[in-house]
Chains A and B, each alone.
Chain A
Amino acid sequence: MRLLFGTLLALIIAASIGLGATWVAITQGTAYGGVSIGAWTAWPRVGTPGIDPYARAMVARSGELPIGSGDGVAFYARSDDAGQLLDGRCDIALEGITPQARYFTVTLYDLEGRLVANAVQRQGFTSQELIRRADGTFEITIGPRARPGNWLPTGGIERYMLVLRLYDTPIGLATRSGREAPMPTIVQKSCR
C-alpha cells in the first residue's frame, strides 16, 4: 500500500514538474545565446544548424521559420528601454540609428506573430521608406492615433512587439555589445 502510494506520488510529481517545465520553457522561455542591446534581443544561433533544442521546440510550436543567418538577423522588443511592456494605447518613440545593413525593416506584430489591422494598412517600415533627419537618424512614432512623420499604427491593441530585421549585415553570432550594433532607443512618450 505504502509502495503504491509512494510510486503514485512520485509519478504525479514527475509528470507535473516535467510537463510544467516544458510548457513554461516553450511558451515563456527564451532560447540560449541571446544578444541583448537595449530593449532589443536577437537569437542569431536560431538561424543556424546550431539551434538549441529549446529554440527548436519553440519554433515547431509557433509555426514560424527563423531567419537564416546568411539572410539576416531579427531583433525583438517587447518592452521599452525602461523595461515597461509595450502598450498599443500609448505613444512610443523609436529613435536613433541602426547597425550596418543593406536594408532593414521594422514591423509591429501582436504577441502571437500576427500583423495588426489598422486603417492605413501599415504594418512596418523598410529602411528606404523612413523619413530621416539631416544627420541620418530617424524617429518612428508608434501609437494608436495618426502622427506626422513616420507613424506606425498600433490599432490600439494592448500588447505588441516590434521586430527589427537587418538584411545582409555583419551583425550576428559574434556581436556582443551596443558599440558594435547601435540600436534605436524605445521611449514611451504619452499614455492615455
Chain B
Amino acid sequence: MIRLLLWVLGGALLGGIVHLATVLILPNLASQDAYSRLAPIAPVNAVAPLPPPSAERSPIPFLDPAFAMAVCRYDLTDGPMKLSVPVSQAYTSVSFYTRSEVAYYAINDRAAGRRVIELDLMTSEQRGDLPGDEEVTAADRLIVESPTLTGLIIIKALAPELGLLPAARNSLTGARCQLQPQQ
C-alpha cells in the first residue's frame, strides 16, 4: 500500500515537471501563432497592409477594428533596418514583437514627437558595430534593439470615426521598412 502511494506521489511530482516543461516549450511549437498566421500575407522586410478584421475573417484574433493596420515582418540577418511611419490625423503607433510574440517595444506619435516616426531597428551586435562618432552625431536618432533576428512590426493608425478609416489606411501607405546594409 505504501509502495503504491509512493508511485502515485512520484507520478504527481513528475506530472508537475511535465506541466512546467510543456508550458515553456509550447510557444516554440505553436504553429498557429501570430507570426505564422501573418507570414503568408506579410513579405519579409516590407510593409504590407493587414486586411481589416471582420466577423467572417480576421488575420489574427482580437484586432481592434477601429484601426487601419500594416505589418512589417523583419529579418535583420543582412543588417539593421530603417523604419519610417508618417503620423496620421488622430493616433499612430508602432509596436515591435519578437518571433515568439513578445511585445518588446512600442511607441506612439506623441512619444515620437514628430510628423514622421523614424527609427532604426537592429540587434545589439549590430549596434555594437556602429561607428562611435556616428552615434554621437545622430544623437536624436531613435535606435530600437531587437532581441531576435526576426519578428513583427505592427503599424496602426486610428480612425476615430468609421468614415475616417480610408484616410487612416491611406496614411499607412507612406510607411516604409527597409534594410540598411552596413558598409
Which residues of A pack against B, CB within 8 Å? 2, 6-7, 9-19, 21-22, 25-26, 46-49, 51, 53-54, 56-57, 59-72, 102-103, 105, 107, 109, 112-118, 123-124, 126-129, 155, 163, 165, 167-168
Contact = CB atoms under 8 A, between A and B. Distances in A.
B106 A71 contact: yes
Given A25-B23, A70-B106, 7 more contacts: A22-B19, A60-B30, A60-B101, A64-B62, A103-B158, A107-B65, A123-B65
Interface in B18-71: 18-19, 21-24, 26-27, 30, 32-34, 36-37, 53-56, 58, 60-62, 64-66
A170 to B, nearest CB: 12
Contacts of B22: 18-19, 22
A13 B11 contact: yes
B23 to A, nearest CB: 5
A55 B26 CA distance: 11
Contact of A10 (B7, B54, B104, B105): B7
Nearest to A126: B66
Closest 9 interchain pairs by CB?
A: A18-B18, A68-B106, A113-B61, A17-B15, A13-B11, A70-B106, A14-B14, A117-B55, A10-B11
Contact of B106 (A25, A26, A47, A56): A47
Say what secondary structure dominates the interface of chain A. Answer: mixed
Contacts of A60: 26-27, 30, 33, 100-101
B33 A11 contact: no
Nearest to B28: A60
A168 B101 CA distance: 21
Contacts of B30: 60-61, 63
Contacts of A70: 93, 95, 105-108, 111
A105 B158 CA distance: 10
Interface string B82-102: 000000001101011100111
